[in-house]
């Protein structure tokens, strides 16, 4: 029987990677026992007694949990490796491409480690796609945050005092987060325009009722798995010219453009920001990897001398922790089912792609050189 443990998150993260209903699903299809850390669901209103009713055992703390389990789940937390000596398997959503600090405590220890942040973009892995689940929630929340901060109304409103024009919203990046932001802004009644270097995203943007901002000459790559790739300097200069004209009249800008393992592309120049309207709002969802705006500061909100507010928040997911736990719990459950069925198959594409450590040695081709040389 496999013994699965679920760690409670620390800091801003309030997510429970498995909910009671997920535990019931696992126990119905496979012979497992599940141990959860005391208070796992407190932040999202789920008590230990609900986990007990689903068949889970409650551990007093993380040390006890690790000692009695084989497979340890968390969203981003990794415990001190001194807590265990026998072989353990860690599964989480570790952002190892941008920050491999989560790997270091487990290096050269008797552990395997999987990160759902490395999932291949395949049909089989779709139900496990934590990144897409997170992006959708964050894209939605970003628009609501920007709307609440704006001193202007978003929809057109007509009344005795006249007619208020709808807000002009620009979305930079038309991946999952960007498309959800477009859909949310349209539902609120905004005039929405969007830009993405991937021309194939035009149909997605227009299908949601937004206008696609065209800039010809982008580099695209079939091997990038649907992500954007780095662009030439000449192309980025042309992008800056086109976007500058659009952003000077915008009320709200949501930026979502990221490149896995690299600094976020700079799409809003300082000069553009200093020529934007007073009261304009920029919510930069790429702040953790440098930001799409030249003046973004990670984790804080600033107001420029001309009155533009730039939000570099990194905790929007925590603001939707209950919904996030629901979708992420389903993603982790799907991955666990696949892992328990296929973990002995070294050729399995999903497990091979997501595996970071094997017996404490870095085996991920995307990380081995960088981490081993750390």
Give the active site residue among 126, 127, 232, 278: 126
How far apart CA 203 and CA 183 sit, in angstroms, is 14
8: DSSP letter = P
Neighbouring CB atoms inside 10 A of 341's CB total 12
Whether 117 contacts 135, CB under 8 Å = no
Whether 35 contacts 65, CB under 8 Å = yes
Give the active site residue among 112, 129, 196, 284: 129
Closest CA to 65 of 90, 99, 30, 94: 90
In the residue annotation, 121 being an active-site residue is answered as: yes
How far apart CA 66 and CA 158 sit, in angstroms, is 60
In the residue annotation, 129 being an active-site residue is answered as: yes
108: DSSP letter = T
Closest CA to 366 of 7, 15, 98: 98
In the residue annotation, 227 being an active-site residue is answered as: yes
Phi, psi of 24 (to 5 degrees): -60, -40
Neighbouring CB atoms inside 10 A of 225's CB total 11
In the residue annotation, 150 being an active-site residue is answered as: no
How far apart CA 177 and CA 110 sit, in angstroms, is 37
The SS3 call for residue 28 is helix
How far apart CA 184 and CA 340 sit, in angstroms, is 38
Neighbouring CB atoms inside 10 A of 197's CB total 24
How far apart CA 117 and CA 127 sit, in angstroms, is 13
Tokens of 306: 């001309």
The SS3 call for residue 100 is helix
Q: What residues are labeled active site?
A: 121, 126, 129, 132, 227
């Amino acid at each position: 029987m496999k013994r699965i443990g679920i760690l409670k998150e620390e800091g801003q993260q309030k997510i429970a990677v498995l909910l009671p209903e997920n535990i019931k699903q696992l126990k119905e299809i496979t012979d497992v026992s599940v141990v959860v850390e005391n208070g796992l669901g407190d932040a999202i209103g789920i008590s230990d007694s609900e986990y007990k009713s689903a068949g889970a055992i409650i551990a007093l703390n993380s040390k006890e949990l690790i000692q009695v389990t084989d497979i340890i789940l968390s969203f981003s937390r990794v415990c001190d490796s001194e807590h265990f000596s026998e072989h353990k398997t860690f599964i989480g959503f570790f952002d190892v491409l941008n920050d491999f600090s989560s790997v270091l405590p487990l290096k050269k220890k008797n552990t395997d480690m999987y990160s759902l942040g490395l999932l291949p973009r395949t049909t089989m892995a779709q139900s496990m796609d934590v990144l897409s689940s997170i992006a959708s929630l964050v894209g939605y929340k970003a628009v609501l945050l920007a709307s609440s901060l704006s001193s202007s109304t978003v929809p057109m409103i007509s009344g005795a005092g006249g007619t208020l024009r709808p807000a002009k919203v620009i979305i930079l990046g038309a991946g999952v987060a960007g498309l959800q932001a477009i859909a949310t802004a349209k539902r609120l009644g905004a005039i929405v325009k969007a830009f993405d270097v991937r021309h194939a995203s035009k149909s997605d943007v227009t299908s949601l009722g937004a206008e696609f901002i065209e800039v010809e000459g982008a580099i695209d790559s079939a091997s990038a798995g649907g992500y954007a790739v780095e662009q030439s300097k000449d192309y980025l200069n042309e992008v800056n010219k086109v976007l500058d004209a659009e952003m000077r009249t915008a009320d709200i800008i949501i930026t979502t453009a990221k490149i896995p393992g690299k600094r976020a592309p700079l799409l809003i120049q300082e000069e553009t920001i200093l020529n934007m309207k007073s009261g304009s709002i920029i919510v930069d969802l790429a702040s953790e990897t440098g930001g799409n705006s030249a003046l973004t500061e990670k984790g804080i909100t600033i107001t420029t001398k001309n009155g533009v507010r730039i939000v570099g928040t990194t905790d929007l997911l925590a603001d939707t922790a209950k919904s996030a736990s629901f979708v992420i719990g389903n993603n982790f459950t799907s991955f666990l089912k696949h892992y328990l069925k296929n973990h002995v198959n070294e050729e399995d594409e999903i497990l091979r792609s997501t595996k970071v450590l094997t017996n404490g040695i870095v085996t991920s081709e995307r990380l081995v050189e960088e981490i081993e040389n750390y």
